[in-house]
Structure 1
Amino acid sequence: MTASEIKMPLPYPPTRRIDVTERHFGHEIADPYRWLENDPHRDGEVAGWAQEQNALARRYLDALPAQAAFRRQITALFDYEQAGVPLKRGSRYFYTMRQGLKQQATLNVRDGVDGPDRLLLEPNDWSEDGADAIAEWDASHDGAHVAYGVQRGGIDWREIKVLDVATGETLADAIKWVRFGNIAWAKDGSGFFYSRYPEPQPGTEAQANVANHAIYFHRLGTAQAQDRLVHATPDRPDLLHLAGVSDDGRYLVIHSTPGASMTMVSVADLTSADWTVRPVAGADFAAEWAAVGNDGTTLFVVTSEGAPRRRIVTFDLAEAALQPREIVGEDEAALQHGWLVGGRLILSYLVDASTELRRHRLDGRPDGIIELPGIGSAGIRGTLADDEAFLAYTSFNAPLTIYRYEVSTGKRTVWAEPTIGFDLGEIAVEQHVYASKDGTRVPVFVIRRKGVQAPAPTLLYGYGGFSISLTPYYAPTQLAWVAQGGTLAIANIRGGGEYGRAWHDAGRLLNKQNSYDDFIAAAEFLRGEGIARADGIAIQGESNGGLLVGAVTNQRPDLFAAALPGVGVMDLLRFHHFTGGTFWKYDFGDPQEKAAFENLLRLSPYHNIAAGKPYPAILVTTADADDRVVPGHSFKYAAAIQAAEIGSKPRLLRVETRAGHGAGKPLDKVIAEAADMWAFAARWTGLETGRS
């Protein structure tokens, strides 16, 4: 097939319909494609249907003239070395390194400040297709061992292994059924803490609900069956538990959450024999509580309790009755994170969705601002006792650069700076503010190549959920759209965390429609201001952002030329039946409660396809091994839009294999998927490629 031979409407593969109707709160809900929820690795009919869909998508996408240009552009933008933020342990510095066009990042170590760099873990040799990756990892405090998670084919399940740093030998220790957690070494290097689930029934690993998360301690040289259970909540099987060890090694700090951003902080004194877990704050899950670190028995905590934009309080763990004491009050800017580094408390604020790093003394007194290279996103890593820290900075036109930062002097020197084969000085970044439907002022970043004449074909990206903030960051995939003459717009819609908890709350539960109104208003603003072509807006989002794209496409199909929903939650009435979906109830609402159900029924992409209206061109993307947002969401949605009378523009489904929700995806698959999406969007927005 060539570009001139693409015919409309397309010959979509036939999709079997079944008679499934359920009654919920007085509503008759038909679900004719429920059989597509089945795991494609265990159901041959679902697998065959997905293969037919993929074959049609491939014929169409491979014929698009822009695909090759985008593939070349994205490949070139990824072809550089990118170091991660170093973790200092003893005299060693551990860091990840993505080298050019290798599929996965490696784990490296540097012995001493100016010592030689050495490769520790090479995941590119773990599988033929490069789909296995290093997941969470941590080095022991003496730098002798690294415990690391292995992620296979993009799934959320991990297996933890242990490496001897000096010899490069992998030890016999092996930990299975790890998911949604981290790794934290005991100070003495005897072992590490981790979070896991009970072993699932055979054959249910990909879709079974997850419950009864628990924290264990693994002692080196022992079998997993001997691991010590440290913390579990059988009365609350819905909670996630993440453990960290304080820099001084005295405390195990546990954060527990039922989902969204409501958290509880607990501690266990590791100098005691019984490691009794003691609640500190947040047992009612009514606010955010996140421990920053400790100075002796003083625990520093970020909280939204009484402060929607958050504040810093301390607890004296030596006291019998724990009471918070405020040391840094709420500010106009939204407090995001905090670190205890070099005898200082360093706080990260968002000022109109960009980072500002502020220094404080340990009693809360201001101690200046850390100057950043520009408007962007930044964070820091270090310990309270060490003056040496590492600062990471990135922006839309600046790849991640790592600086060595001396806390006492404020001196900053480059530790690792990528060299990009593209003139980033050609990229202009602007920030605009527009009014949403209810008058709320919402910011939007606009990124374009200097000299590009507006209005231009525009890619509008959004997320709007789970208090996740869209701050400036360097993304080769998105930059490729800009490099080829398109405009990229990123809207900071409600549901995110850009302005604190109130901004999140304004876009979740019964307020979820606000997120969609904000996104629609962003498109109208871009068009009205002459930034985007009137008929040239493509929208894209993934996961909760895929839900966003599906929802606004139903609500305003006239506004968009193309829609790119990726790994989206497309059935809002049944998301809680699969894997970790129950955690999302705290953002979406519980479909088993009437008020929430009524709201979700109005928003669900699968249930609100507006027959009789012409829709934009739609390319749905998912992966067959996604065990977070199972592919059944995208399968059912694709079947429904292909069956609906919504015009003649294509409605395609692209299914990646040996990939999951996104993390750990090999680079060649990242490049191929983005090239397909941008070529599809270019076809329908009128973007002409061929720039160098």
Structure 2
Amino acid sequence: MSLRMAVRPFFANHSRIWANYSLFLSKQTTLTHQISYKFKLAEARQVLCVCASTSSAPRTMSFEYPEARRDETVVDDYHGTLIKDPYRWLEDPDSNETKEFIEAENKITRPYLNACPVKDDIHERLTELWNYPKYSCPFRRGDRYFFFKNTGLQNQNVLYVQDSLDGEARVFLDPNTLSEDGTIALSGSRFTEDGATFAYGLSASGSDWITIHLKDVATGKDYPEVLEKVKFASMSWTKDHKGLFYSRYPDQTGKTDGSETEVNRDQKLCFHRLNTPQKDDVIVVEFPEEPLWRIGAEVTDCGKYLIVTPVRDCRDNLLFFAELNDYNVTGKLPLTQIVHKFEADYEYITNEGSVCIFRTNKNAPNYRLIKIDLRHPHEDNWQTLIPEHPTDVLDWASAVDGDKLVIHYVRDVKSVLQLHSAETGDMIQTFDLPVGSVVGFSGKKEQTEIFYHFMSFLTPGVIYHVDLSKKPYDPTVFREVKVKGFDGSQYEAKQVFYSSKDGTKVPMFIVSKKDLPRDGSNPALVYGYGGFNINIQPSFSVTRVVFMQHFNGVVAIPNIRGGGEYGERWHNAGRLLNKQNVFDDFQAAAEYLIAEKYTKPSLITIQGGSNGGLLVAACINQRPDLYGAAIVQVGVLDMLRFQKFTIGHAWTSDYGSSDNETQFRNLIKYSPLHNIHVPDDERPEYPATLVLTADHDDRVVPLHSLKFIAALQHAARNSRQKRPLLARVDTKAGHGGGKPTTKIIDENTDILCFMTQALGLKFVK
């Protein structure tokens, strides 16, 4: 029986829908040979039940999910506890069975999203609002200024060059010309100090793998060599402008295009001489006894030293230095070790002679600046330049104008920008800022001007310029971005502090239209992260604007524990055995919004990506009654095996590892994959859930999402689960970095369509 005949009975009395779907099937002849009938029959039922429903009420029909094979024989022994892993086969991205499963998932998800009656309105409005010019801070290298710009809907930002700040801007590098679909992106770059040569990384399809290219700035032509097998790389030029230190991985068997899952190991620090082939590069630093370390390196401002910073996980690093007496490096560099234990972060800022300034959280959870004399590097000789602030987090520092430092603090999740003396540490002045974030900065020690880029929930972007050669140091607006069709005065953003389960006060930003009724009738989007010492500060988002403007939505950003908003203490309170605090904080945020009558559970959507995907998935397991919908983006979802793939081993600093019995006992309590329940009379159904991943995500590999959605759908089958549990697997995309604008708009359209369908939202034009 043909495929068309097999599915035809499901479209009885729906001739118009069948005509459209039949046409679609006629174009899928090659695909039909790869996918089983059971998947296609399920898809047919899905198309019918979605397309036949035209009301604005939430879609609560029964779903026919693909019946993914369960292999009950796969069992792991974790310290005496036997754990089944029936979807282990989905860990192989190259198997036909995995590919068929992905196709089947997309085939039931796509009709549901496409059936959203306001999909075209959402896509059109997102595109319209996205079409505004976006700029980076200008930065000077040599005698020229450079800046990034996107005219609005370009897939990738374009790098421009100009001879002076008011000179004509010319295109210097346009990544949009490198691929028809915009999936080749600039990923990391470094100019020589004289601005004569430009090293830049290119990533394809969102992968973390890059190739480094070298461009002559004057002619615009690339040098012939291309540096390959590069990932998580530092790039730093010698002061003769001819040699580049960079980190790379050795050749490995199999593919390295971002769709593989093999562990990244044995990174080396290499030295490349300009205009020579990569095969002539030499390894200058390696730690063969520590295959999982990643090696960072920076040539000091004076050019006499190379600072080497090995890191094992996602926090803490060791500290070495080597003297660069000759820039013609020919082999291993003799290293002097300063820091011998992984117990704190050390970040090089600048130096005068042998005295270097570092940012560190050693004995300072909110960070401080210290001086280390490389002639006498023992810790007993370290000096504090800027002490730890009792409440504000010293987020970054940059040397400018010879003897000054620009310091960025985070104070209650808001940016504070100050100018300090590099000699004494004394504060010279504070640059006044509204409530928001400094999202960009440029300035160099040998330059007398700085630029900084401010953004907030309601401010798309303002770039300020400060001339440090003239007093007073008054900022002037260099460039201000406006978004046509958005009037920030119609909205309000406020910060509240709510109590978590254990009484901890947690800050949260709430953004919405002014004078929105507080009667529990508003849809709410709650976004969270809570990990890896990362701050979630105010930023401008077109998607959130559309949600507020056209759905009368409330956007809430709780700054939960695990992040770095209050320094290492906040981070430590949400990692390892304290990870449950992160979920408790997030759930308490939703409870606050309900108690304060911003919204109600059936109208709450929770969203998070990567570590935030773990957050969302864990919360729908623990409190499914609290939310109406969930968006799980590129999430870490198998907490027992994450360390076995690509760079997952680095996350053990936040999560721990199932290899450790105590940490295993903690991980199994919240691992999203291992805590899925069957909705029944005692346990509520899951909120409508959309799981998103992509085929070239080599950060959090797709197997997490695939195993999770397979297990979730299995639990829902023949249960009281009515809300949809769907997956969206993108192609030629990765973890998020470098994603072209067209894909970003399409993805956010699908997310808003899913929320509209699942919650019965109304689009207000």
TM-score by length of 2: 0.87
1:212 matched to which residue of 2? 266
Q: Distance in 1 between matches of 2:198 and 2:64?
A: 52
Runs of 4 or more, structure 1, over 6 Å off, are none
Structure 1 residues 460-479: aligned runs within 5 Å: 460-479=526-545
- CA shift in 2, pair 1:600/1:189, >3 Å: same
Show structure 2 runs of 5+ residues with no match.
1-49
Aligned residue runs from structure 1 range 114-153, under 5 A: 114-153=166-205
- Show the counterpart of 2:21: none
Distance in 2 between residues matched to 1:329 and 1:7, nearest whole Å = 57
Q: Which is worse superposed, 112-121 or 132-141? A: 112-121
Per-residue CA shift, 1:117-169, capped at 9, x if unaligned?
11111111211211111111111222122111110011110001111222221
Contact 1:136–1:149 (8 Å) recurs in 2: yes
Q: 498-507 or 327-336: which moved more?
A: 327-336
How many Å separate the matches in 2 of 1:3 and 1:104? Answer: 39
Letter in 2 for 1:533: K
Provide the aligned length of Structure 1 versus Structure 2. Answer: 689
Residue of structure 2 aligned with 1:290, choices 347, 355, 358: 347
Per the alignment, residue 9 of structure 1 pairs with: 62
Out of 714, 718, 722, the residue aligned to residue 648 of structure 1 is 722
* Mapped partners of 1:81, 1:239: distance in 2: 40
State yes or no: 1:622 paired with 2:686. no
Q: For 2:706 and 2:122, locate their aligned partners in 1 and report how far apart those are by CA, in whole Å.
A: 26
1:546 maps to 613
Q: Who is 1:186 aligned against?
A: 238
Indicate conservation of the 8 Å contact 2:60/2:722, yes or no.
no
Q: 1:550 to 1:281 in 2, by over 3 A?
A: farther
Q: What is the CA-CA distance between 1:606 and the residue it aligns to?
A: 0.5
- How far does residue 271 in structure 1 lie from its aligned partner after superposition? 3.1
* 1:690 matches 2:764: yes
Query: Which of 448, 462, 476 is the aligned partner of 2:512?
Result: 448
2:642 aligned to which of 575, 582, 589: 575
Q: Would the alpha carbon gap of residues 159 and 476 (structure 1) be closer, same or farther in structure 2, given more than 3 Å must change?
A: same
**Residues 268 and 295, structure 2, Cα contact 8 Å, conserved in 1:** yes
Select between 105-114 and 146-155 the one with higher mean Cα deviation: 105-114
Cα distance per residue 1:530-560 (max 9 Å; x no partner): 1223421100000000000000110000000
| C-alpha distance in structure 1 between counterparts of 2:240 and 2:256, whole Å | 38
Question: Could you list the per-position Cα deviations for residues 328-364 of structure 1 after superposition, in whole angstroms to 9, with x for gaps in the alignment?
Answer: 1111211111111122122111111111112221211
* Aligned residue number for residue 208 of structure 2: 156
Counterpart CA distance in 1 for 2:630 and 2:439 is 31
Q: Percent identity?
A: 39
RMSD in angstroms over aligned alpha carbons? 1.8
Residue 324 of structure 1: aligned partner: 382
**Secondary structure of the structure 2 residue equivalent to 1:97:** strand
C-alpha change, 1:280 and 1:480, in structure 2 (3 Å) is: farther
**For the pair shown, which has the larger CA radius of gyration, 1 or 2?**
2
Alpha carbons of 1:414 and 1:578: their partners in 2 closer, same or farther (altered >3 Å)?
same
Shift of 1:265: 2.9
Q: 1:62 to 1:145 in 2, by over 3 A?
A: same
How much has 1:3 moved relative to structure 2?
6.3
Query: 2:18: which partner in 1?
Result: none
CA–CA distance in 1 between the matches of 2:278 and 2:214?
13
Helix, strand or coil at the partner of 2:120:
helix
CA distance in 2, matches of 1:255, 1:98: 34
**Code of the aligned partner of 1:429:** A
Query: Any idea what SS the aligned residue of 1:94 has?
Result: strand
Worse-superposed segment, 371-380 or 23-32: 371-380
The unaligned stretches of length 5 or more in structure 1 are none
2: CA distance, partners of 1:73 / 1:616: 27
TM superposition shift of 1:442: 0.4
| TM-score, structure 1 normalization | 0.96
Deviation at 1:229, TM superposition (A): 1.6
Match of 1:586 in 2: 653
How far residue 569 of structure 1 moved from its aligned partner, in angstroms, is: 0.6
Query: Using the alignment, how far apart are the partners of 1:219 and 1:511 within structure 2?
Result: 47
The aligned runs of 1:377-392 (5 Å cut-off) are 377-392=438-453
**CA drift at 1:54:** 0.6
Residue aligning to 2:553: 486
CA distance in structure 2 between the aligned counterparts of 1:294 and 1:280, rounded to whole angstroms: 18
Q: Is the 8 A contact 1:282 1:288 kept in 2?
A: no
Residue type matched to 2:368 in 1?
R
Contact 1:495 1:504 in 2 (8 A): yes
Distance in 2 separating the partners of 1:78 and 1:283 = 48
Aligned pair in 2 of structure 1 residues 113, 204: CA closer, same or farther (>3 Å)? closer
Between 1:487-496 and 1:71-80, the stretch displaced more is: 71-80
Q: Does 1:357 find its partner at 2:417?
A: yes
Amino acid in structure 1 at the alignment position of 2:294: L
Alignment of structure 1 residues 210-289 onto 2, 5 Å: 210-272=264-326, 276=333, 278-279=335-336, 281-289=338-346
Equivalent residues in 2 for 1:659-674, closer than 5 Å: 659-674=733-748
Q: Secondary structure at the match of 1:466?
A: coil
Q: Which moved more, 1:497-506 or 1:382-391?
A: 382-391
Deviations 1:338-397 (A, max 9, x none): 111122122111111111112221211121211124433355321123211111211111
Residue 81 of structure 2 corresponds to residue 27 of structure 1: yes
